[in-house]
Amino acid sequence: MHLTIVVMMMFLPLLPPQVNEEPVIIVNKATHELSVFEEGNEVFNASAAIGKTSELTPEGQFHVKVKAKEPYYRKKNIPGGTLENPLGTRWIGFDARGTDGRIYGIHGTNRPESIGKSVSAGCIRLQNKDVEKLFDIISLESEVVIVKSNNEMKSIYDSWIRDGLNRLLNPAT
């Protein structure tokens, strides 16, 4: 059994990455970019705003827990669908840092000039037209992977796929 795993690990880098059929959202904080990969292909890409500091936008692997159209902004009691609402037209909440998808999210904005910058309190902002498209592509439980990397998005995705296979072959004991 162990010999099989050792042999597989030797040849794993030579194998093409496995393809995940479900959409996967990749956010690269280094490039202020968000992409979606489906069946190994990039099907969506947009510029994004991220946290003012590196620590504000958490890095890691998360899952979409909430999807909302015209989200209500609880902090300042601003109804959805109004120009004053900083969440824009969509909310895609994910479970970072033990939350339930209502604290950290990917959302639109009423400040389109902020896109591509480090300005948020931790969320990932997209242009409203982009978050509306993303909202239609992904589903609840879609994976969200947030990294800070100098690699291209396809390379980040391929690494994520390989790392997932490595986790299956080498479960923590």
Name the residues annotated as catalytic.
107, 123
Write the DSSP symbol of residue 102.
Answer: S
CA triplet 139, 82, 49: central angle to 5 degrees?
Answer: 55
CA–CA distance, 125 with 51 (Å, rounded to integer): 9
Let me know: does 148 contact 156? Beta carbons within 8 Å: no
> CB atoms < 10 A from the CB of 11, how many?
8
73 forms bridges with which residues in the sheet?
A: 78
Query: Which residue stretches of 78-169 are H helix?
Result: 128-137, 153-169
**What's the CA gap between 62 and 146, in Å, rounded?**
8
Place of tokens 């959409």: 23
DSSP state of 78: B
